[in-house]
Amino acid sequence: MSRLLFTYGILTNRSVMAKRCPAAQLLGRARLPGFRLTFRWVANAERCEGSTVLGVLWRLNPSDEIVLDRYEGYPTHYTKLAVDILLETLEQVEAQIYVLAEQQAQECPRAKYRDAIVEGYLMHGLSTKQINIALRGAESEYDREIEAIRKEELDYRHR
């Protein structure tokens, strides 16, 4: 039995999906309301009222799902959620998404990973604005962590 998978990270990239799941059927662009895109070294979708994640909807056969489960590190690194997705026609369908199993600090991804996600969005005519916002969020958290470390060092030196 096939499943619908909503992707918002590297799996939006047709080349990445073609390597891992050549039988996957691209259904088109879609939206995930009530979530926001974040980077915690890897892409993640997190619940956030009033936000929406743009992405791509795929139909997977069972063998493709097994391959992606291994690739995504399911169930230890990523887990799966059943969510309601809005298609471009505004039809609502249920699909699965991969989300991080444990929350981690926001952190910018490697450039190659980030670029593959941007390429995936551009392939589908999706705005990359949410990627840029998520990257700024990761950079801001990093800056706050560095500032806290510097403050601790100063406090230590002044003892």
All residues at 6 or more sequence positions from 126 whose CB lies less than 8 Å from its CB, including other chains: 12, 29, 54, 55, 56
Average the pLDDT over 52-58 and give the result. 98
Predicted local confidence at residue 41, as pLDDT: 87
For residue range 23-39, what is the model confidence (pLDDT) as tens digits?
Answer: 999 999 999 999 999 99
List residues bridging with 46 in a β-sheet.
Answer: 36
Predicted local confidence at residue 103, as pLDDT: 79
Question: Are the CB atoms for 23 and 50 separated by under 8 Å?
Answer: no
pLDDT band at 105 (very low <50, low <70, confident <90, very high): confident
- Domain range list for the chain: 3-157
- Position 47 pLDDT exceeds 70: yes
pTM, entire model: 0.85
The CATH architecture annotation of domain 3-157 reads Roll (3.10)
